[in-house]
Amino acid sequence: MKDYIIHHEWKIIEEGFRPEYNRISESIFSIGNGNMGQRANFEEHYSGDSLRGAYIAGIYYPDKTRVGWWKNGYPEYFAKIINSTNWIGIRVLVNGQELDLATVKILSFRRELNMRHGLLSRLFRVEFSNGNQVEVESERFLSIADREVGAIKYSVKALNFSGEISVTPYLDGDVFNEDSNYDEKFWVEIHKEIQKNEGYVTLETRKTKFQVCTGMFFRSFKNGENIAIPPQNKIQPKFISAGQVVPVKEGDTLTVEKYASTVTSLNYPVKKLQGFAAKAIQRAAEKRFDGLFAEHKQKWLNEWKFSDIKIEGDVAAQQGIRFNIFQLKQSYSGEDERFNIGPKGFTGEKYGGVTYWDTEAYCLPFYLSTASGEISKNLLLYRYKHLPKAIENAKNLGFANQAALYPMVTINGEECHNEWEITFEEIHRNGAIAYAVYNYVNYTGNKEYLAPYGFEVLLGISRFWSQRVNWSEEKKKYVILGVTGPNEYENNVNNNFHTNYMAVWTLKYTLGVIRYVKVEFPYLFEELIRKWKFNELKETGKWKDIIDHMYFPFDGEKQLYLQQDGFLDKELLPVSKLPKSDLPINQKWSWDRILRSPYIKQADTLQSMFWFENEFTKDELKRHFDFYEPLTVHESSLSPCIHSILAAKIGYLEKSYQMYLRTARLDLDDYNNDTDDGLHITSMGGTWMAIVMGFGGLRVVNDKLILNPFIPGKWKSYTFRVDFRGAHLCFEIKKDQLIITNFSAVSVPLVVWGDEYVLNKKSKQEFIKEIIE
């Protein structure tokens, strides 16, 4: 755990430069706009340790699988959102010496991310070997008002000398990925050109043939006056630049405003790419930095108006939740159903920037409550449109009758994960995708989504479950063998509770959806029967038999559902008894030792109990939490949020707060020593859930909003907003008061601490109760 980020309600601040933390900061201070993301690399040259990264949504490379032992069914590649053209580069020479924070003497350094306005800035002073000192101030953003544009304002002030400063803005497409399986570079050059202060580089990905055109335009000023010195242009493979050498006196300030555009063949014909990049550059140049930023800032203020969570009395918690919301908003705009949310978004190479089940399990609730209905619907349509590939994936593994197994990892619907214990075994992901259909319909009330989209996805998944089980003569039950549950510290186990539970739940839910579609859309149902060759009587008969006879490992003495068969054979030593030097175990122990241990990476059995809490008594929830949480190392970013919500549910309020703080500050404080390769974007949806569903107790049951809030003892108050079926609601929780405001023209049925109310349109209701922890 690190503790170098200064606490502030609206800003992320790093005071002083620590080269050993640079990769961590490059992740933390990342910026993005939903279409593109940029790590917080320096504009000027830096020869120290750095992970350079600029990533574009939907632009990927199928990196050939590299494994020691090939197995039938392995995908041939791992898809990666790849590092793209470096658009931020500005080389700076001061009297002939390179500005490089790895070689100069740093006198002061401050890096700041203003989350309210979406602005990354740096202010630093350095001294060169000849004694020359400069002060540098930089600001940059990727516009959420014009998502094809990024802008930089970069100033260098001569503090104690006269001479010359050289500035060279450039575009560099000769980039690479550190995680390339075969040390390949993924781009080939199509075209490049530069004239004076405007230039373009067009590249194409190998294999996938995506084209990306990046444009740049810049203006330079000395003490606010335009510099008329003609730029010296330079062209190299995949590279263009335009340099100016400017004479300066002590106290002079040289400023460069650089605008970049990024357009892709996903949206435009390849023959017209540069033309569209030029149009984006023209828009930026006309508005200039301040005009672009004013529009971008206003858009961010509007975003915060509807999605902010305010905490009074706990700056660390406040900074944490805003950082999580900010990064979620940067990573996914929801405007394009072709895109999804990678576990590390656009902040690093790990996980390839592609889609896991995390989206459905942890991100969907955030977008359901804080964005338009079309945005959350697009997340579901992404999976619906990949249904043919899910069927193909199941067929490749030997399943029939158009059964669907959604991939563990994908960007285009094809499975591209190549670790056998996950690719073949972590099939609970199918359950998460089915649950997302339920979650969307339950929250929005949009049952029409089930006909046909939801029905078709659920049918394919149910067919998979009905074939994946097998009958055990010994147990006289159906069993599911050879799986990995959410706890990836256990592989190839039999009868993982969560997997078996999700199979049964999915079959039950699909039966209900069939009844609904038959009644409400009878003609469509007949079409669906023909389309999918659905033998309702035969297939649902098998499903009902599985529901009635599924095996769940259970210990009668402890009255516990077991994570899997044989779990009690392990040495059940709690994590608190381990030496601190052993943690995190995934970085300190051999895999053999981890697999034999009882330690749990993230909620597994408890994941089912979180999703289906109403199917268990409070005593059952408490008993299972008391057994499993002490064995949980929380080394998955997805773990603390679920435990926070469950702890709140069973009345462990201090534990709930501790787990919230861990999930909220997971990356800011680098809890698991893995922020250097990117942020944990999908777990940030879980952070939002920890406050709204954990502390706020918000649920949707029988078309009503349920609220059972408490307030952590350290807090004075907290406020969150949600959209629910056309209503925009604000919940303010104080130590002895709950205030609910309905800003919309729609009345909302509520259940608050067990009592039913109707919150009328354009109204406010207050509840008096001691609700402190």
d(CA 218, CA 94): 20
Which residues touch 459 (CB under 8 Å, ≥6 apart)? Answer: 510, 528, 532, 534
Per DSSP, 600 falls in state B
Query: Does residue 183 contact residue 159 with C-beta atoms inside 8 Å?
Result: no
Strands 232-236 and 470-472 turn out to be: unpaired
Q: In Å, how far are 252, 256, 317, 397, 612 from 158, measured between CA atoms?
A: 6, 15, 40, 66, 63
Structure token digits, residue 142: 């990727």
Rg (CA), the chain: 27
Peptide bond into 584 cis (omega under 30): yes
Query: Does residue 751 contact residue 714 with C-beta atoms inside 8 Å?
Result: no
Q: In Å, how far are 23, 116, 244, 424 from 119, measured between CA atoms?
A: 19, 8, 27, 43
Label residues 678-715 b or e (16+ Cβ within 10 Å = b): bbbbbbbbbbbbbbbbbbbbbbbeeebbbbbbbbbeeb
Nearest to 331 by CA among 366, 292, 294: 366
d(CA 397, CA 408): 14
What region, left, alpha or beta, does residue 512 occupy, with left being phi > 0 and alpha being psi -120 to 50 degrees? alpha
Query: Does residue 546 contact residue 503 with C-beta atoms inside 8 Å?
Result: yes
H helices of 629-745, in order, are 639-649, 653-664, 681-689
Mapped onto helix, strand or coil, the DSSP state of residue 518 is: helix
Which residues touch 49 (CB under 8 Å, ≥6 apart)? Answer: 19, 22, 23
Phi, psi (degrees; rounded to nearest 5) at 451: -120, 100
Query: Does residue 665 contact residue 671 with C-beta atoms inside 8 Å?
Result: yes
d(CA 514, CA 415): 28
Query: Does residue 688 contact residue 663 with C-beta atoms inside 8 Å?
Result: no
Structure token digits, residue 413: 């619907």
Element at 720 (helix H, strand E): strand 717-724
Element at 79 (helix H, strand E): strand 77-81
Phi, psi (degrees; rounded to nearest 5) at 510: -65, -40
Query: Does residue 343 contact residue 682 with C-beta atoms inside 8 Å?
Result: yes
Residue 80's beta-bridge partner residues? Answer: 61
Q: Which amino acid is at 502?
A: M
Q: Determine whether 8 is exposed, middle or buried from the number of CB atoms within 10 Å of its CB (0-12, 13-18, 19+).
A: middle
Residue 668's beta-bridge partner residues? Answer: none
Phi, psi (degrees; rounded to nearest 5) at 342: -80, 150
Which residues touch 474 (CB under 8 Å, ≥6 apart)? Answer: none
Active site residue 374: no
Strand ranges for 83-210 from DSSP E: 90-94, 97-98, 105-114, 119-127, 133-142, 149-158, 163-172, 187-195, 198-205
Structure token digits, residue 523: 């003609």
Length in residues, the chain: 773
Element at 663 (helix H, strand E): helix 653-664
* Annotated catalytic residue within 426, 488, 490, 539: 488
Query: Does residue 310 contact residue 719 with C-beta atoms inside 8 Å?
Result: yes
Own/partner pairs, 585-589, CB within 8 angstroms, 24+ separation: 585/633, 585/635, 586/489, 586/635, 587/673
Catalytic residues: 488
